[in-house]
Amino acid sequence: MRILLFQAIEKRWGPNLIRFGVTWDGEIKGKQDGNALINFKATRLNSLNAEWLTDISVGTLLSLQTEFYQPVDPLGIFFVAPRFEAYRTNQDVYLNTDEAAYRKFETLASGFYSFSPIYRLQFLTLISL
């Protein structure tokens, strides 16, 4: 009887994942909205398995979202996660049922999340331009 044995050696980093996408929304003879999407996730950045997540949208909606997730203890029970978001989009403004205007909205947001079994602490700062 012959036995084949594989011994895989885990690398210290990764896997890093990247995904692409497209959205499209519109009417046949009307307004068309489309976006190209990119999602990037870097995992196991340090010995406590920190992760960095980033989402980017380019098109009708311009956005950037990023978050760094950092466990504080080896079991991952406690963590901190600072994040940042920036958006710019155009919205139709209606008066009754008629389109009244086309307005650009810009938003910046940042936050800091922390978790423990005893309490949950969240701070969120939102600035709308």
Tell me the average pLDDT across 20-26: 91
The mean pLDDT value of the chain amounts to 82
Q: Which two tokens stand for residue 21?
A: 């996408």
Residue 4 lies in a domain: no
CA neighbor of 78 nearest in space, from 87, 86, 69, 90: 69
Q: Which domain holds residue 117?
A: 16-128
7 inside domain: no
Query: Mean pLDDT across the stretch 6-35?
Result: 84
Rounded distance between C-alpha atoms, residue 59 and residue 21, angstroms: 12
On whether residue 1 sits in a domain, the answer given is no
- State residue 55's pLDDT score: 97
| Mean pLDDT calculated for residue range 70-97 | 84
Helices (H) and strands (E) in the chain — how many of each?
Answer: 0, 7
Residue 36: predicted pLDDT = 96
Q: Flag whether pLDDT at 126 surpasses 70.
A: no
pTM, to two decimals: 0.71
**pLDDT confidence of residue 23:** 92
Residue 41 domain flag: yes
Number of domains in the chain: 1
| Average of per-residue pLDDT across 33-46 | 93
